[in-house]
């Protein structure tokens, strides 16, 4: 696995074609569906951890923050890389839906060619999320006021921005899928299995075969002669 999605996006001169986004997104969601079927929460889904083989196959990597989901009564750390809004408010009771928030962010980044919710720290990132999705309320996020840090962090009231303005180059099906993943209420957030069944993946332009994906050029590995020269002692 000589590259990752982060490097692929970095070397692009323009956003990915939607057919290519579908290919990457489908492989990501299949990996998450498999993990979640085994009760594994990855908790660090981001482009740099989505490894890509020379043939274009994407695989989930870096399970250093992963843990087993054992049920709603278990307390989990909120100090993880995944920045789902419930974690930004200090929740310690969450499930695999935090990975689905991250998956939505990755798909949006592929479509926009830039992160959807950039932030220098947790507070800044939470503010960015609220500016996009609007202020959380009991209607759009039942139980939000009970989260540990809800009363510690206050912002002025903000109205939501339509998803098609946040991701202006996306198709209607892509917008609809993102609206099912990037929602405050984790119980309404799509699972990986539901996302894979969304019309986004079953309408034109269809996903290309992974072998058709354009990957950044990789330097050729050093020859045996070059390795031997590197290992020779330097005369002084």
Q: Could you list the pLDDT tens digit for every one of the 236 residues in the chain?
A: 889 999 999 998 777 899 999 999 999 999 999 999 999 999 999 999 999 999 999 999 999 999 999 887 788 887 777 789 999 998 888 999 999 999 999 999 999 999 999 988 888 999 999 999 999 999 999 999 998 888 888 889 999 999 999 999 899 999 999 999 999 999 999 999 999 999 999 999 999 999 898 777 655 555 566 566 666 554 43
**CA–CA separation, 44 vs 61, rounded Å?**
9
**41 pairs with which residues across the strands?**
67
Number of domains in the chain: 1
**CA–CA separation, 14 vs 184, rounded Å?**
30
Q: Catalytic residue at 122? A: no
Determine whether 235 is exposed, middle or buried from the number of CB atoms within 10 Å of its CB (0-12, 13-18, 19+).
Answer: exposed
Is 118 inside any structural domain?
Answer: yes
> Range of 171's domain?
3-231
Q: Pick the catalytic residue from 4, 33, 44, 122.
A: 44
Is 236 inside any structural domain?
Answer: no
* Residue whose pair of structure tokens reads 């689905």 in the numeric block: 100
Determine whether 194 is exposed, middle or buried from the number of CB atoms within 10 Å of its CB (0-12, 13-18, 19+).
Answer: middle
Domain containing 111 — which CATH number?
1.10.510.10
């Amino acid at each position: 696995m000589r590259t990752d999605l982060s490097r692929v996006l970095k070397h692009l001169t323009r956003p990915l074609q939607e057919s290519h986004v579908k290919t990457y997104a489908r492989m990501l969601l299949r990996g998450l569906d498999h993990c979640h079927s085994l009760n594994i929460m990855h908790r660090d889904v981001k482009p740099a951890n989505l490894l890509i083989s020379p043939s274009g196959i994407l695989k989930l990597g870096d399970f250093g923050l992963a843990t087993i989901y054992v049920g709603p009564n278990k307390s989990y750390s909120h100090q993880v890389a995944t920045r789902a809004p419930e974690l930004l408010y200090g929740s310690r009771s969450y499930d695999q839906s935090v990975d689905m928030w991250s998956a939505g962010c990755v798909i949006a980044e592929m479509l926009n060619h830039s992160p959807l919710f950039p932030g220098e720290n947790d507070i800044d990132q939470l503010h960015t999320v609220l500016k996009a999705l609007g202020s959380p309320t009991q209607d759009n996020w039942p139980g939000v006021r009970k989260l540990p840090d809800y009363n510690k962090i206050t912002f002025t009231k903000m109205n939501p921005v339509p998803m098609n303005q946040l991701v202006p180059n996306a198709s209607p099906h892509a917008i609809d899928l993102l609206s099912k993943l990037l929602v405050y209420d984790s119980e309404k957030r799509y699972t990986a299995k539901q996302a894979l069944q969304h019309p986004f993946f079953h309408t034109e332009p269809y996903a290309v075969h992974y072998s058709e994906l354009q990957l950044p050029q990789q330097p050729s590995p050093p020859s045996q002669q070059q390795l031997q020269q590197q290992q020779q002692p330097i005369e002084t």
